[in-house]
Amino acid sequence: MKRFKEFIPLWRFIREDRRKILTLISILFVASLAGLFTGYLIGSALESITDKNLTRALVCLLIYFLNSVLIDHGLGLFARKELEKEESKISRNLSYEAYSKVLNLPAQAFEEKTSGEIINRVTQDANSLSFVFGRVIRIVSAIITTFILFFYIAYNSYFMAIEIILILGLLFLLLKKYNPLMKDAHKYRKGKQDIQTSLVTESVRGIREIKTLGIKKNLLKEGSKNVDAIDDGNIKEIKLNRDFNIIGGFLRTLMEVGVFATGAIELYYGHISITFFIAMTYYVYRYTWLMEEINDFTIEYQKLNVALGRVNELLENRLYDDVKYGNENLKDPQGVLEFKNVTFAYPNESNTLKGFNLKLEPNKKIAVVGRSGQGKSTLFNLVTRIFDVKKGEILLDGINIKDLTETSLNKNISIIRQEPFIFNRTIKENFKLIDEKITLNEIRKYTKMAYLDDYIMSLPKKYNTILGEGGVNLSGGQKQRLSIARTLAKKSKVVLFDEATSALDNNSQEYIKKSIDNLVKDHTVVIVAHRLSTIIDADVIYVVEDGKIAASGTHEELLKKSKIYNNLYLSENSDSN
């Protein structure tokens, strides 16, 4: 049972159609059971001819014909085709849930796992179930029917029965030896494929940097090593499969020859009837077919077991727990954000925030500054629940953000990063992801507020322009403004800017500042800034040092009373001179 533990989580994907599946399995079993009469009917027909009993021979052949057409080929084929449909449905649901689980993984998962591994778990591994479910049922059905058939064989010839048991025992020992070897070989190859998929994904997303940095040869060299490792894994699997099939084929042939030879000897001495001997020429192939199916399925099973194990690690939360949300909804959001005694540390690091306290009010331009590594961006990671606090709490309008529903939290808090992610779709479709019902007029209203509409309208396809992977067709400032426009469409009450203007030219920076000024009128706007020149007009500036608020005030006030702020400002000005 332990060997099949990875199949247990699949039960929930079967429950919905379990009655239909059980009915189809029953039909398939009946069809397989009906097939047991084939050999006996053919043998009986031939023996009837030798006995000059033509009527009995014709009746046996008629029963064989009806049994084969109506039950074996008719009902059996119907059940197999319907099971393939169910199999496809299970595979589809499994793949979708795996994708859903990925979207619910905590940020830690994406820091510890490569993108290639996550992508392969959702795509290749989840889809590996295709055409296996029905095959398992057919093999199990065949095992049951051949077990029943064994009693008929043993009743007529215990010598043949002993031969079959011995050869099946040898097959079992073969499976026991090769199963772990094939599983390890496949697991090794899958790991190397994950690495190569990550490399390809990074190469596609970073193609411009690859060309400008002149690192194509280095990446090709790395890719070549990955492909060689995958090929080594393939060769090892092929060799194991070859050896396994050679030995398995020998055992099948041994069974056929042994049973035929024993049958011929026993028939010669009159120990068995012609009917049984002819029947065995059919039945022995049932056993050799079953052996061949077990051989082939063993190879597929090891691949499937590895794949299901990787998928189940997602589905069963074995690697990481899902982010859990509450049941509270914000009905009339005001945008008051408060940190109360917050302590936080990234995995395997010391505390970044230590008893942190801060209350942020709406309708103000609020800035957070400080030296690198002091916890500025961490505040945004905690507010958006990319990470959760270790101690203390974060409140939005007096409600702990852990108690908010996922929809309520995400709708009311937006973050605009230094490099916002733009989807490889049209401009219009990027907004449709926010709101399926949004109109072009509404989209243009938001892009005008972000000072981007004029540029979009100058494009040949205007709002139907495809932006490319990661928005590569836009400049840094245009990405920022598009991200602001999307946030406006989302109608979030709290808008967070994480180093949003640090890499922009003066012209783009001016546009972003105007957009932020528009947002301040009706939102809680918080800016984490590296360049102090971008936030000197903020209503209040908080200085973070050693995981706490060290000072607060306007730009002029902080120059007078905060040594830390003064040093940051002087350092920036000296760098610019």
* Residues 344 and 250 placed together within one structural domain of the fold: no
* Residues 512 and 480 placed together within one structural domain of the fold: yes
- Give the CA radius of gyration of the chain: 35
* Residues 309 and 349 placed together within one structural domain of the fold: no
Specify if 323 maps to a domain: no
* Residues 280 and 353 placed together within one structural domain of the fold: no
Lowest pLDDT segment from 285-299, 442-456, 470-484: 285-299
* Residues 157 and 252 placed together within one structural domain of the fold: yes
* Residues 310 and 346 placed together within one structural domain of the fold: no
Specify if 231 maps to a domain: yes
Average pLDDT, rounded, for the chain: 79
CA distances from 5 to 2, 306, 380, 455 (A): 5, 12, 41, 57
Whether the CB-CB separation of 161 and 344 falls below 8 Å is answered with no
251, 284, 315 - which closes a domain: 315
285, 315, 345 - which closes a domain: 315
Specify if 44 maps to a domain: yes
For residue 102, what pLDDT is reported? 73
Give the CATH number for residue 463: 3.40.50.300
Domain that holds residue 364: 337-576
* Residues 307 and 356 placed together within one structural domain of the fold: no
Position 184 pLDDT exceeds 80: yes
Q: Taking the model in full, what pTM does it have? A: 0.63
| Sheet order of strands, 399-400 included | 351-360, 337-345, 391-396, 399-400
User: Hey, what are 497's tokens?
Assistant: 């800017």
Per-residue pLDDT band at 432 (split at 50, 70, 90):
confident
Specify if 329 maps to a domain: no
Specify if 536 maps to a domain: yes
Phi then psi dihedrals of residue 571, to 5 deg:
-65, -40
For residue 172, what pLDDT is reported? 82
CA distances from 254 to 170, 176, 261, 289 (A): 11, 20, 10, 13
C-alpha of 489 from chain center: 30
Once rounded to an integer, what is the mean pLDDT over residues 226-230? 86
The 10s digit of each residue's pLDDT in 489-535 is 888 888 888 875 555 556 666 767 777 777 777 888 888 877 777 78
Whether the CB-CB separation of 191 and 183 falls below 8 Å is answered with no
* Residues 66 and 172 placed together within one structural domain of the fold: yes
Per-residue pLDDT band at 209 (split at 50, 70, 90):
low
Supply the DSSP symbol for 426.
B
How many whole angstroms separate alpha carbon 453 and alpha carbon 464? 13
Q: Give 113 or 197, the one with higher predicted confidence.
A: 197
* Residues 293 and 411 placed together within one structural domain of the fold: no
* Residues 499 and 417 placed together within one structural domain of the fold: yes
Percent of the chain with pLDDT over 90: 2
Position 131 pLDDT exceeds 80: no
Task: Domain count for the chain, please give it.
Answer: 2
Once rounded to an integer, what is the mean pLDDT over residues 437-443? 90
Residue 307 sits at the vertex; the CA angle it makes with 306 and 313, to the nearest 5 degrees, is 90
Give the CATH number for residue 11: 1.20.1560.10
Specify if 562 maps to a domain: yes
Percent of the chain with pLDDT over 70: 83
Q: Taking Cα atoms as reference points, which of 504, 409, 410, 408 lies closest to residue 451?
A: 504
Per-residue pLDDT band at 309 (split at 50, 70, 90):
confident
Specify if 327 maps to a domain: no
Specify if 320 maps to a domain: no
Phi then psi dihedrals of residue 173, to 5 deg:
-65, -40
* Residues 363 and 492 placed together within one structural domain of the fold: yes
* Residues 409 and 470 placed together within one structural domain of the fold: yes
Residue 214's SS3 state is: coil
For residue 1, what pLDDT is reported? 45
Q: Taking Cα atoms as reference points, which of 171, 136, 186 lies closest to residue 245?
A: 171
Which ranges of 332-491 would DSSP assign to H, the alpha helix? 376-383, 406-412, 427-432, 440-449, 453-457, 476-490
How many whole angstroms separate alpha carbon 471 and alpha carbon 486? 14
Once rounded to an integer, what is the mean pLDDT over residues 33-39? 76
Burial 432-450 (b: 16+ CB within 10 A, else e): eebeeeeeeeebbebbebb
Phi-psi region of 27 (alpha: psi -120 to 50; beta: other; left: phi over 0): alpha
